């Protein structure tokens, strides 16, 4: 594997730039920057880069695959970070996700809600914050609940005693716009780490 020199070089500067943009976006619409959580999306980046990011003040890390997060979390040992699952979650990985992640961004079905709630019970975890991923474009082949299915899913989540409904997750390619529209969490990958390693 090639050394992740590009990703590490300038990491602090890029992170500062992203933070400044978040602050600028927040101020422009009269919001407090501190009410916006920056999730640094580290998928495909090696663990050394994640460690570096945590070293320069990243608190929240986003990963889209359970397996990849599992190995990074194990390698980082007890270095504190909040881990966010931002990719589609298959039901058969629900329990592993409950073990690993602090927040799940991609709840998209009633059955997955029930599965996560049950996994929390099995893992003796009292609370799992979840965001519902909405498929606004109505592209049913992709993940995300259709707008028409949203009320039923919100009701189901609220009936799950261990799930904490934190809001809806839409996608925007422009996090400054998302902030102006009221987003409280922004997920940023490339602007922090550079191009992904494929």
Ligand X SMILES: *Cc1c(COP(=O)(O)O)cnc(C)c1O
Q: How far is the CB of 46 from ligand X (least distance, A)?
A: 16
Closest to 58 (Cα-Cα) out of 181, 67, 72: 72
Report whether 185 contacts 170 (CB < 8 A).
Answer: no
**Does 189 engage in binding with ligand X (CB under 6 A)?**
yes
CA 169, CA 182: separation in Å to the nearest integer?
11
Q: How far is the CB of 84 from ligand X (least distance, A)?
A: 10
Q: By C-beta, is 64 or 109 nearer to ligand X?
A: 64
Report whether 48 contacts 3 (CB < 8 A).
Answer: no
For helices 11-28 and 47-55, what crossing angle results, to 10°? 60
Q: How far is the CB of 11 from ligand X (least distance, A)?
A: 14
**Does 14 engage in binding with ligand X (CB under 6 A)?**
no
CA 113, CA 94: separation in Å to the nearest integer?
9
- Which of residues 43, 72, 93, 115 is near ligand X by CB under 6 A? 43
Report whether 47 contacts 75 (CB < 8 A).
Answer: yes
Stretch that binds ligand X, among 21-29, 152-160, 176-184, 188-196 (CB under 6 A): 188-196
Q: How many residues bind ligand X (CB under 6 A)?
A: 10
**Does 187 engage in binding with ligand X (CB under 6 A)?**
yes
Stretch that binds ligand X, among 4-12, 28-36, 75-83, 186-194 (CB under 6 A): 186-194
Within 8 A by CB and 6+ apart from 155, the residues are none
Q: What are 52's two structure tokens? A: 């570096």
- Which of residues 50, 69, 120, 188 is near ligand X by CB under 6 A? 188
**Does 64 engage in binding with ligand X (CB under 6 A)?**
yes
**Does 86 engage in binding with ligand X (CB under 6 A)?**
yes
Q: By C-beta, is 14 or 43 nearer to ligand X?
A: 43
Report whether 108 contacts 133 (CB < 8 A).
Answer: yes
Footprint of ligand X on this chain (CB under 6 A)?
Answer: 41, 43, 64, 86-87, 187-191
């Amino acid at each position: 594997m090639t050394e992740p020199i590009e990703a590490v070089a300038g990491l602090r500067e890029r992170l500062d730039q992203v933070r400044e943009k978040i602050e600028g976006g927040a101020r422009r619409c009269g919001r407090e920057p501190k009410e916006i959580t920056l999730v640094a999306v580290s998928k495909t980046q090696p663990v050394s880069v994640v460690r570096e990011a945590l070293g320069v003040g990243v608190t929240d890390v986003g990963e889209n695959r359970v397996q990849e997060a599992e190995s990074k979390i194990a390698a980082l040992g007890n270095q504190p970070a909040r881990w966010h699952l931002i990719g589609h979650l298959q039901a058969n990985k629900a329990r592993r996700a409950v073990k690993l992640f602090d927040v799940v961004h991609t709840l998209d079905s009633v059955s997955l809600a029930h599965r996560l709630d049950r996994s929390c019970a099995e893992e003796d975890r009292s609370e799992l914050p979840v965001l519902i991923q909405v498929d606004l474009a109505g592209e049913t082949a992709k993940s995300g609940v259709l707008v028409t299915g949203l009320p039923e899913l919100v009701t189901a989540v609220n009936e799950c005693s261990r799930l904490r409904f934190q809001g809806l997750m839409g996608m925007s390619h422009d996090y400054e716009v998302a902030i102006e529209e009221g987003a409280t969490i922004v997920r940023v990958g490339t602007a922090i780490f550079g191009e992904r390693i494929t």
